[in-house]
Chains A and B, each alone.
Chain A
Amino acid sequence: MPVSTNEQGEPIWRLRTSRAQWLGYLAWLAGISLFLLCWKLISDNTMWVFVEDAGRQGSDLISRMLPPQWSYAHRLWQPMWDTLNIATLGTLLGIAMAFPVAFLAARNTSPHPLVRSAALVVIVSSRSINSLIWAMLLVTILGPGVLAGIIAIALRSIGFVGKLLYEAIEEIHPTPVEAINATGASRMQVMSYAVLPQVMPAFAGISVYRWDINIRESTVLGLVGAGGIGLQLNAAINSLAWNQVSVIFLMIFVTVLASEWVSARVRRAII
């Protein structure tokens, strides 16, 4: 923070130097013009007639959603159970695959730089592609059903769990590793005695966290045919049965909130 003096010899205090100030203004200008440009592109692709109608459409939607058709709820238990299974089994499968990948991707446990890059590619590809896209692909390959959903969730989870876990592995204390190495332990024994105990709490926390996210993700997989409550949602929307849609929404809302609560409790217990 420079302090300079003016002609009268009084100190002037400014937060930044003027050069940095100019750069700051320029950055803001560039950012705002970029934003406006993007906004223009969107507005060009929008039918504003529909948008003017949005308020009426919205209130119309709500009036058709209410009151919810409660009798529909009993047909949702089975799909909800499927959704939970997709999330849980998918998470289990995902963390089972993510576990070795993370060890291969962490700088301090990877056997070879080439293996490490390969593991990182797996993690990045899995992270970049949404589970819904995986589900679309898998449905064309495996056919519609719960299995496609489980595998889609698992494939997406590899990247998430793998990334957080390998970061945790890279942050372990190196001295216990050195000590176990000095006893003449094999590579696998060093992993199981020096590395594993140090990353186990992080691993459990990450897995439960991902399970909670997966519950939310698996509610929509049915839209592309991969099982779960999304199938019902899709059917209800296609038949414009909005009073059924509202029941489904409520159901999803409660389930996701419950899973978030469970996951937060478990994570607090671990840490």
Chain B
Amino acid sequence: MNAARERLAEQGEWRRLPLIGDARLRWLMVIGAVLYLVLALSTISVNWDRVAEGMSRGLNFLAAFTQPDFISRRGDIVNGLLESLTMTLTSTVIGVALAIPVGLGAARNISPLPVYLLCRGIITVSRTFQEVIIAILFVVMFGFGPLAGMITLAFATIGFMAKLLAEDIEDLDWRQVEAVRATGASWLQTMNHAVQPQVMPRLIGLSMYRLDINFRESAVIGIVGAGGIGATLNTSISRYEYDTSAAILLIIIGIVLLSEYSSSHVRRWTQ
């Protein structure tokens, strides 16, 4: 084949090598993709009258960003924000604290099989369900309010942090662990002197990142009654008070920006 392509190139015939060598497979994939697109696009049904009617609302909404209204629902916004922020902080702290044992348990190289399976199970369940779904269950159990939200976010944090922590531990530098073990250190001492120093910087970085995610999520779990700014936002949107919604969205964007900026500083400081 190579020689044939060389001969063609000599005569000035050259085409890029196709990504998929087998021509039949290539066409099959193209046809499959087109077929899927046609099928998927056909499921979209648009009520154009409804869209035309909604367009004016859309324009109103965009216009609201030029004059956001922070004032008229000030009390609700401040309360919602305070709730969101407290939920974010407590859930991250509790979630990270609980993620450490789960993460240790889910690292195949340092924990026995039953513990490993249990911890992996917790991680999988926590990661699979969107925060809002978990929030629904916890609201049913714990009643409306920020406590349900906090537990939801803490649960989601466990799955996120424990998985990454376990991966970190699984590929940490094993020689250092052995060196500490060789001194006759106990299991806890080994963790403290050989494992912790290796995973700590990343753990801090990830916690900051998760803090950021938790804040953003705290803005939506209010929709199902788990407290926070989401409830205020939801109310304002359903009442078509777009200037208030715009104000809330701008505040969220501002806080996320701020946290991103400060977390990059914290990360630099801890490394």
Contacts and interface: CB of A to CB of B under 8 A. Distances in A.
A binds B: yes
28 contacts: A35-B90, A38-B90, A45-B227, A50-B143, A57-B140, A85-B43, A124-B260, A125-B253, A128-B252, A129-B216, A129-B252, A130-B220, A132-B132, A133-B230, A136-B223, A136-B233, A136-B234, A137-B61, A141-B54, A141-B61, A143-B54, A145-B47, A150-B44, A217-B130, A233-B133, A252-B128, A256-B129, A257-B124
A125 B254 CA distance: 9
A82 B257 CA distance: 34
B179 interface: no
Give the interface size bracket for A toward B: 35 or more
Contacts of A61: 137, 140-141
Contacts of B130: 216-217, 219-220
Given A45-B145, A143-B47, A129 B83 contact: no
Given A35-B90, A58-B141, A253-B129, A132 B54 contact: no
Contact of A145 (B45, B57, B61): B45
The interface residues of chain B, by DSSP majority, are classed as: helix
Interface string A53-73: 010011001000000000000
A50 B140 CA distance: 10
A140 B224 CA distance: 18
A65 B166 CA distance: 32
Contacts of B36: 88
B55 interface: yes
B150 A42 contact: yes
A141 to B, nearest CB: 4
Interface of B: 36, 40-41, 43-47, 50-51, 54-55, 57-58, 61, 82-83, 85-87, 89-90, 93, 124-125, 128-130, 132-133, 136-137, 140-147, 150, 216-217, 219-220, 223-224, 227, 230, 233-234, 237-238, 240, 245, 249, 252-253, 256-257, 260
A29 to B, nearest CB: 15
Interface string A108-142: 00000000000000001101111011001100111
B50 A142 contact: yes
Given A47-B145, A223-B224, 12 more contacts: A35-B89, A39-B90, A43-B147, A46-B146, A57-B142, A61-B137, A85-B40, A132-B220, A136-B233, A145-B45, A147-B44, A233-B133
A224 interface: yes
Contact of B41 (A38, A43, A89): A89
Interface in A215-268: 216-217, 219-220, 223-224, 233, 237, 249, 252-253, 256-257, 260
B142 A50 contact: yes
A237 B224 CA distance: 11
A34 interface: yes
B170 to A, nearest CB: 15
A216 B128 contact: yes
